[in-house]
Amino acid sequence: MTMHSRWPWSLRRTGRRQTKVIAVAIALVSSCGQPGDARAQTANARYPTAAPIEQYRVKSQTEEIALARSAAPPSISAGAEVLVLGEHGYETAVKGRNGFVCFVERSWAAGFEDPEFWNPKLRAPNCFNATAARTELPQYMKRTEWALSGASRQEMIERTRTAYSNHTFKSPEPGALTYMLSKGGYLGDAAAGPWLPHLMFFLPHGQAAAWGACQEESPIICHDGGEIQSTLLLIPVRAWSDGSPAPPLAARP
C-alpha cells in the first residue's frame, strides 16, 4: 500500500521527504515509501520488530494526559475523556463529559506497510469526536492490545482481516474526525516533530474522490486505506491548539 501518486500543490512543494511525514501524521495509516525506496528500507532495518514496551511509554501519567489534551483546543480537550497507555492497553485516566476522547497514538496506528510501524519514538496526540470514538477508536484499542501482547505485524494484519469479515470492526460513520493540533507530538523521523496542525476525517474505503481530495491543487490530502483500513482526509489548519500560528506547509522542512 502506498500514498496517492498525485499530491496537492502545497504538499508537492515540500518534496518527497514530506510524504513520509504525511504518512505517519497520524494516525498515521499509510505506507511511507515506494517498494525499493532507500529510506523505507533503512527505516525497516531500523524498526524491524517491536521495541521493549518501556520505550513506548511516557514517563508519567500526568505528562501523557497533558500531551493527549494538547491535540485539541482547551474548549474541547478540557471536557474530553483521556486515555493513557498502560501495561496491556489503553486505560481511562480522566472521565469525559463532552463525547471527545483524547489520547496519544503510538506507531502501530500506522498503515501495516509503514516502515516506522514499530518506531518507539512516535507520539501522535489525537482527540476523536464521539463518532470516531464509536467506530475508529475500538479498532485502535484492539490493535494496541495485540501489539502489547507481542503479536507480530503479520498476525495483526490477519486478525484485522478477520475482524472486518465478522463485522467486529466497522467502517467509519459519517462525521468521524480527529483533532491533531499538538505542538508536542513526534509524527515520524522525517518530521522529527509535530509536522503541521490538521484535522483528519475518517471515511469508508473508496470515498476520497467524492470530496475532491488528492486532486491537483486540492487542499485536502488523502490516503485510501484499502479494505481493512479507513480512508483518511487530512486538512492542514492555520493554528496549533494553543492558538499560536503554524507555518505554511511549504515552509516546513
pLDDT in tens, 37-78: 444 455 467 899 999 999 999 999 999 999 999 999 999 999
pLDDT band at residue 244 under the 50/70/90 scheme: very high
Task: State if pTM tops 0.75.
Answer: yes
Q: Is 151 helix (H, G, I), strand (E, B) or coil?
A: coil
Q: How many CB atoms lie within 10 A of CB 154?
A: 9
Contact between 143 and 229 (Cβ < 8 Å)? no
Across the chain, what does the average pLDDT equal?
A: 83
The residue ranges of every structural domain in the chain are: 9-251
Phi, psi of 40 (to 5 degrees): -65, -40
- In this prediction, what percent of the chain has a pLDDT beyond 90? 66
Count of CB atoms situated within 10 Å of the CB of 227: 11
Q: Distance between CA atoms of 190 and 238, rounded to whole angstroms?
A: 21
Find the DSSP H helices in 70-150: 74-77, 130-135, 137-148
Position 232 pLDDT exceeds 80: yes
